[in-house]
Chain A
Amino acid sequence: MRDSTEAATEGVVAITNLSRRFGAKAALNEVSLDVPRGGVFGLVGENGAGKTTLIKHILGFFRAESGTVRVFGSDPVSKPVEVLGRIGYLSEQPDLPDWMRVHEFLRYTQAFYPTWDAHYAEQLREQFGLDPSARVRVLSKGQRAKLGLLAAQAHRPDLLLLDEPSSGLDPVVRRDILEAVIRTVSDEGRTVFFSSHLLDEIERVSDRVAMLHQGRLVLCGSLDQIKARHRRITIRFETQLSAPPRVPGALAVTGTGREWTVFCDSTRVQLPDLGARIVNEDGASLNEIFVATVTGRS
């Protein structure tokens, strides 16, 4: 049982060696990560990588089979009210009560959150263009997402937890979601945990990024450091090669003929004397880093 001083110094979310199986499949495999207070933490991974399973542990929907999960220093399974009252959660296609009208749903949600700001909720409702008397069932997909986003934000949660919120939504709604992320983290001490396979969004707003692949954490660190470490180096040989050159430690080597592109984590590889000239060196996008890291390992 952790005491309050320990809770104050540790991160908002502290996950240690978390594992979970669904039958024979390891959905999560020894995952450890820390979400520091006051930043945006981006979680990336392909479908089925384990992102939603991880988030369900944070929400206390799953009890840890092995390992530990602490949110605001507490176990979300044993202290659901304490933990969930400080979280604003939005998932892909939020589960909203179809029969309620918008204003009824907001009144209903408000009852769960002592910190609900009615004035702010009204501001957001107006900004999102949601008709208070409309029934949830007639709302479009984008409007449902906005309503879910409103409900997640209006109590100014200490942790805004988003699970693939932007999937299948138009750019305007996606913009609203990113704006919510930035507004949250602009307030002192508030944190965002944002899982998405839309890497350009993660890349815009994240302080720290973690990559899940087949239940394992394959990359975790500050976004700036991850990007600084990964380099895309183009090399040119005098003669055509029939097969990719061997570059020990490289994440990926692609190309054809005389010109080849080596994708590497610069901390792990020194380009050996291949008899080739370096013609270009560049930083890499998160997308490239993700693909190279994941395909390099499978």
Chain B
Amino acid sequence: MYTVLIEHTVMLPLLNPASGTPLYLQLIEYVKHAIETGVIRAGEQLPSVRQLAEDLLINPNTVVRAYRELEHEGIIELKHGSGAFIRESIVPRERLMKKANGVVKSALDSLESFNLSEDEIRRLLENELAVRRTGKKRRKHYA
């Protein structure tokens, strides 16, 4: 699994220290993406903090932070003494994401005939998300 993880870096941009995004956040996104695309599977072990830091040439603290946050989000489990493992419950998430993608596709197919611009579709989506988030009704005026 581990060699696949490193080979996978050719498909994703390498961690970029100069970016405005902190390295530990980039690492979290990288792990999530690897899970979503099936590169790492449920129950599999992630590299040790030391190993990953040495291979990616980043400070071990960065890896620790990323692993802690991933554990907090319920994506990995830190087993004391043995290492970091992807949670078993993560597999349904990968399938869930695939299903959700299908829903988005059919929604966009349905909207074809409405002839909306991309920005208009995006605004509709954000509006609905905001309604759910704030619990308030927000109506945008469409000229």
Interface residues in A5-49 by Cβ distance below 8 A to B read 39-40
Q: Is A185 an interface residue (CB 8 A)?
A: yes
Q: How far is the CA of A185 from the CA of B59 in the complex (A)?
A: 8
Q: How far is the CA of A54 from the CA of B10 in the complex (A)?
A: 40
> Shortest distance in angstroms between A220's beta carbon and chain B's nearest beta carbon?
18
For A266, list chain B residues within 8 Å (CB). Answer: none
Contact assessment for B17 and A204 in the assembled complex, using a CB-CB cutoff below 8 Å: yes
Contact assessment for A40 and B18 in the assembled complex, using a CB-CB cutoff below 8 Å: no
Q: How far is the CA of A73 from the CA of B17 in the complex (A)?
A: 33
Q: Given A203-B17, A204-B17, check contact A227 B22 (CB 8 Å).
A: yes
- Contact with B57, one of A199, A205, A224, A284 (Cβ below 8 angstroms): A205
Q: Is B106 an interface residue (CB 8 A)?
A: no
Contact assessment for B21 and A186 in the assembled complex, using a CB-CB cutoff below 8 Å: no
Q: Is A219 an interface residue (CB 8 A)?
A: no
Interface residues in A247-298 by Cβ distance below 8 A to B read 282-287
Q: How many A-B residue pairs have CB under 8 A?
A: 53
Q: Is A79 an interface residue (CB 8 A)?
A: no
Q: How far is the CA of A286 from the CA of B21 in the complex (A)?
A: 12
For B22, list chain A residues within 8 Å (CB). Answer: 224, 227-228
Smallest Cβ-Cβ distance to B49: which chain A residue: A186
- Contact with A182, one of B17, B21, B59 (Cβ below 8 angstroms): B59
Contact assessment for B57 and A185 in the assembled complex, using a CB-CB cutoff below 8 Å: no
For B57, list chain A residues within 8 Å (CB). Answer: 175, 178-179, 182, 204-205
> Shortest distance in angstroms between B47's beta carbon and chain A's nearest beta carbon?
13
Q: Is A117 an interface residue (CB 8 A)?
A: no
- Contact with A186, one of B18, B20, B23, B53 (Cβ below 8 angstroms): B53
Q: How far is the CA of A7 from the CA of B61 in the complex (A)?
A: 25
Q: How far is the CA of A286 from the CA of B23 in the complex (A)?
A: 13
Interface residues in A163-187 by Cβ distance below 8 A to B read 175, 178-179, 182-183, 185-186
Q: Is A234 an interface residue (CB 8 A)?
A: no
Q: How far is the CA of A207 from the CA of B22 in the complex (A)?
A: 12
> Shortest distance in angstroms between A94's beta carbon and chain B's nearest beta carbon?
22
Contact assessment for B18 and A286 in the assembled complex, using a CB-CB cutoff below 8 Å: yes
Q: Is B43 an interface residue (CB 8 A)?
A: no
Q: Is A82 an interface residue (CB 8 A)?
A: no
Contact assessment for B19 and A283 in the assembled complex, using a CB-CB cutoff below 8 Å: yes
Which of A39, A203, A204, A206 neighbours the largest number of chain B CB atoms within 10 Å of its CB? A204
Q: Given A182-B53, A183-B54, A186-B53, check contact A284 B59 (CB 8 Å).
A: no
Which of B17, B21, B23, B54 neighbours the largest number of chain A CB atoms within 10 Å of its CB? B17
Contact assessment for A287 and B61 in the assembled complex, using a CB-CB cutoff below 8 Å: no
Q: How far is the CA of A274 from the CA of B18 in the complex (A)?
A: 29
For B21, list chain A residues within 8 Å (CB). Answer: 283
Q: Is A131 an interface residue (CB 8 A)?
A: no
Q: Given A183-B54, A186-B50, A186-B54, check contact A205 B18 (CB 8 Å).
A: no
Q: Is B58 an interface residue (CB 8 A)?
A: yes
Contact assessment for B18 and A287 in the assembled complex, using a CB-CB cutoff below 8 Å: yes
Contact assessment for B54 and A182 in the assembled complex, using a CB-CB cutoff below 8 Å: yes
Q: Given A179-B54, A224-B22, check contact A186 B60 (CB 8 Å).
A: yes
For A179, list chain B residues within 8 Å (CB). Answer: 54, 57
Contact assessment for A283 and B20 in the assembled complex, using a CB-CB cutoff below 8 Å: yes
Which of B23, B49, B60 neighbours the largest number of chain A CB atoms within 10 Å of its CB? B60
> Shortest distance in angstroms between A2's beta carbon and chain B's nearest beta carbon?
28
For the complex with contacts A183-B54, A186-B54, A204-B59, 5 further pairs of A-B residues with Cβ separation under 8 Å are A40-B59, A179-B54, A199-B18, A282-B20, A285-B19
What residues of chain A have their CB less than 8 Å away from a CB belonging to chain B? 39-40, 175, 178-179, 182-183, 185-186, 199-200, 203-207, 224, 227-228, 232, 282-287
What residues of chain B have their CB less than 8 Å away from a CB belonging to chain A? 17-23, 49-50, 53-54, 57-61
Q: List 10 A-B contacts (CB under 8 A).
A: A175-B57, A182-B54, A186-B50, A204-B57, A204-B58, A205-B58, A206-B59, A227-B22, A285-B17, A285-B18
